[in-house]
Amino acid sequence: MKYRFCFLSSAVFALMLLSCFTFASEIVTILDENVDDVIKYITSGNGKPDKSTDDKFKGNEALKIGVDGGDGQNFNPNAPDWKFEIVENPSTASEFRYITFAWRKDGGEGIQLQLHGNPDTWGHRYHGGANVKNWNPSIQVSKTIPAKWEVHTRDLFKDWKKFQLTGIAFTAWDGKAGYWDYVMLHQDESVASVDSKGKITAIWADLKRR
């Protein structure tokens, strides 16, 4: 986090307050208005990936994973150019500590977001509702499925310690479909809030510290 402070005369201080403060922090967009690109690389799994323009958290589109038997997911353990370092104190453009994601579930008992990394391969997971296939380790972020859009922010370093993030799985499991939007990696605890267009019970989920 970098700060720059200006010293202004009292006459212009009120008008120029915002320009006296700058903030620099790296944010990487994994999913947000780029659904077509994401679908191109999540080529494994039995889910039915699609771009949803009617049901989305913000903006114009969200990722829909339809369920039609099988594992109900789409994934890639080695997404193109993914070598994101999860560390305690991020200091370079490739280092991060937090992830924020929005999701919703249409029917069924559970939903999961899985992160592939080195070490521990798929051993970095979050689920809402039931852990339908008992894929562990996994941290439950809500006791029931997110029938309405929810946003969660997690401290990856506290949850999983240091690792290199290389891939992702969007796992709907059961029901009709799972939806994902606004998936971001960031260095600082807070990320700019977004407009949910009244569709969410906003959860900027407290960072559950273990």
Distance, CA of 10 to CA of 81 (rounded, Å)? 49
Q: How many C-beta atoms surround the C-beta of residue 179 within 10 A? A: 23
Please state whether the predicted TM-score (pTM) of the whole model is above 0.85: no
Amino acid at the residue 68: D
CATH superfamily, region 26-186: Galactose-binding lectin (2.60.120.430)
User: Over the stretch 141-173, which tens digit does the pLDDT of each residue have?
Assistant: 999 999 999 999 999 999 999 999 999 999 999
Contacts of residue 203, defined as CB under 8 A and 6 or more positions apart, other chains included, come to 142, 150, 151, 152
% of the chain surpassing 90 pLDDT: 76
User: Residue ranges per domain, the chain?
Assistant: 26-186
In this prediction, residue 20 carries a pLDDT of: 28
Q: pLDDT tens for residues 26-61?
A: 999 999 999 999 999 999 999 999 999 999 999 999
